[in-house]
Chains A and B, each alone.
Chain A
Amino acid sequence: MRGKVLPVHEAGHDAMTNTLPDRAALEWMYSTMLLAKMADERAADEARKGLLAAALYPVRGLEAVCAAMGVAMAPQDQMVSSYRNLGDALSRKIPLRAIIAEAYGRMGGTSKGKGGTMHLTDNERGLIATTGIVGAGMPLAVGLGLAAQLDKSDRAIAVTFGDGATSIGAAHESFNLAALWKLPVVFVCQNNQWGEHTPLAEYAANPNLAERTAAYGLHAEAVDGFDPMATLQSIGGALDRARAGEGPSFIECRSYRLTGHSGLSDYSYVPTEELAAALARDPAPTFRTWLEQNGHVDAATLDQIEQTAVETVDDAFAFAQQSPHPSPDELMADVYASPEGVPTR
């Protein structure tokens, strides 16, 4: 168990069919991948047109990982995410309306428009925190894991972060502490191969992040993050171990960032061949082909899912744009639980 590093399943979907979820779950996964892709692209369009004033961190390339987390995680499980959180939020079944309204800073958003795109939270659906600080979610997940362990609950905690976050001290402190205390935490590294604008191999002496993290005495494995079935199996296994009291896991989901680091940022520095190879495995269309070719879901149903996704995205943006702005009294609300005597400016 300790220090186990598995190879990446470069072969694609056919490698992992022994844990096939039921048809409803497969349909949900496809729908979620589509929503992540389409909402992401729509948000970028709105920002480009000057109609959406929000920092955007695209999730294109991570759709399969997010869909897999949505199926693997149980309703009582909790998640800590980062600024690149659209797919994570969908995996927790947070309505797209609330996600997009938060991006518009409206009352219909997850935080009444006071958190914004980098700070989606929905306690009821188990998205406990999203942080805009690289790597800072991992200590929070350790704390949530401690709470779950003290509660003797069957709750597991998943924390998502990019490959860039594995460089920061908080990550290494958290790997050690979670392993030391055998906490029910799954570290889900959404490795998109780029730390901001620097490729992994240029900032890590050992770019095999799973191998590096295994040294902390936790279960670490790498998986093909473009393969939703393989990713589902890896994350599901990690959650099972967490619930069984076997401690934390580090799952390095190897993917590729299909866009710039942030909303409208330059992407010209990315090698053309690498990007083309990654785009050839674009999660949602690749998954559709696989579902159809293997007879898991028929074409008419997939067409219907696509049509529904288009409508859901349109509806979410319309809802967000019509949702009221926070009233002026929201400025001072929620700073303190008991604000008696604290300053007002």
Chain B
Amino acid sequence: MTTVESATDTKQMTIVAAIQNALDIALGLDERVIILGEDIADPIGGVMKATKGLSTKHGLDRVRATPIVEQTIIGTAVGAALGGYRPVAEIMFMDFLCQAMDQIINHAAKSRYMSGGHSPAPIVVRAMIGDSKFGAQHSQALEGWFMHTPGLKVVMPSNPYDTKGLLLSAIFDDDPVIFIENMGMSYSIKGEVPTGDYRVPLGEASVLREGSDITLITYGAEVHPSMAAAQALEGEISVEVIDLRSLVPLDISTCVRSVSETKRAIVVHGSTEFCGPGAEVATQLTDRLFGTLDVPVARHGATYTPVPFSQQLHSTPTEESIIAAIRTLRQRDAVGQHPESI
């Protein structure tokens, strides 16, 4: 459930436009909001143009282009947050967060706890999953790393409306948030977005499509092939699709409600299946629904490989592979055995 506070007019926006719009609103609402990142000031306005126009409108003091120093961008954001600001740090490709892990994991995430609650560091780190055409160092889905770190919240939207509403919630949240975007969706996914301020709360999944035979639980870019797979199977298998939207907090209740009806579920994501977010979702569903499920909860994540450059090799789920995963689960349901033992 989302709340629309003061929005009447809507506009067709790409995800990038929704991000720019959210940042513009946040900068206008609160002087403590500042943005840091490489190339983010005009005339470039960020490599994806997500900050286009913002330094011109809100000033170079608050929309600050930095040198190429990921760990110090995050460290500076944490320090500014300790100094009372609400910094948003843009770190281009998510892979570059490796450079900043010390500041994210050892400082942003733990500052509140280590200080006994006195020194919170409410920053937002925006970073995107790239595209395989950049090769294996610009295309990893690393959300699982951050889910594994107490103190952080992890958000991963799939569409322009959620992107704007979740980003505004993240900026004004009092906890540090890792906000993960996806390069492939930045300009290709469009939707109607209210032009005013509204918030999508962190920790509320959204049921994108109702169905009765099986539930696909997914988030981020994999929402789109999941929806396409559900559409392709219409008439044959009735597929419900849940978009988690945020991974920490995790809205397991919405998943439980759905799977208690469908009795079958697959968690679909772009990070590796092994130790991926799907393992957590599957375990929590099994804990709550064991004995009522027709088949064990399945996972369909990326292969345990670096991301291949070749467009012919698919490490992450596609519409076709999701359809195949659904059919495999149905087959297992009918036979009562693991597909590899059939």
Contact = CB atoms under 8 A, between A and B. Distances in A.
Contact of B83 (A121, A133, A147, A333): A147
Given A131-B106, A336-B151, A342-B249, A177 B72 contact: yes
A142 B203 contact: no
A193 interface: no
Interface in B57-72: 61-62, 66-67, 69, 71-72
A338 B173 contact: yes
B82 interface: yes
A298 B53 CA distance: 66
Nearest to A345: B150
Contacts of B62: 150
A333 B251 CA distance: 21
A111 B113 CA distance: 8
A143 B76 contact: yes
A142 B250 contact: no
A151 to B, nearest CB: 8
Most buried by B among A111, A145, A169: A111
B285 interface: no
B132 interface: no
B80 A146 contact: yes
B78 interface: yes
Contacts of A123: 115, 118-119
A111 B106 contact: no
Interface in A146-196: 146-148, 150-151, 169-170, 173-174, 176-177, 180
A335 B107 contact: no
Interface string B43-66: 000000000000000000110001
Contacts of A336: 112, 151, 153, 175
B80 A143 contact: yes
Contacts of B80: 143-144, 146-147, 150
A112 interface: yes
A147 B249 contact: no
Given A119-B115, A139-B79, A173 B67 contact: yes
A143 B78 contact: yes
Interface in A71-93: 78, 80
B112 A115 contact: no
B75 to A, nearest CB: 2
Contact of A144 (B71, B79, B103): B79
Contact of B153 (A148, A173, A342): A342
B276 interface: no
Given A136-B103, A176-B67, A341-B249, A114 B116 contact: yes
Contacts, number: 162
A115 B117 CA distance: 10
A339 to B, nearest CB: 8
B96 interface: no
Contact of B75 (A78, A128, A140, A334): A140
A335 B174 contact: no
B75 A136 contact: yes
A123 B116 CA distance: 11
A144 B87 CA distance: 12
B85 interface: yes
A337 interface: yes
B102 interface: yes
Nearest to A112: B116
Contacts of B174: 337-338
A173 B72 contact: yes
Contacts of B120: 337
B244 to A, nearest CB: 11
Contacts of B106: 131-133, 136
Given A177-B69, A338-B175, A340-B249, A147 B115 contact: no
22 contacts: A80-B79, A111-B115, A113-B116, A121-B115, A121-B119, A128-B119, A132-B106, A136-B107, A142-B75, A143-B81, A144-B80, A146-B83, A147-B85, A151-B84, A170-B71, A170-B102, A174-B72, A177-B72, A177-B76, A335-B113, A338-B175, A342-B249
Given A110-B115, A334-B115, 15 more contacts: A111-B114, A114-B116, A115-B115, A129-B79, A133-B107, A139-B75, A140-B76, A140-B107, A143-B82, A146-B34, A151-B83, A170-B72, A334-B117, A335-B113, A342-B249
Closest 6 CB pairs of A and B: A143-B79, A139-B75, A147-B83, A341-B249, A337-B174, A111-B116
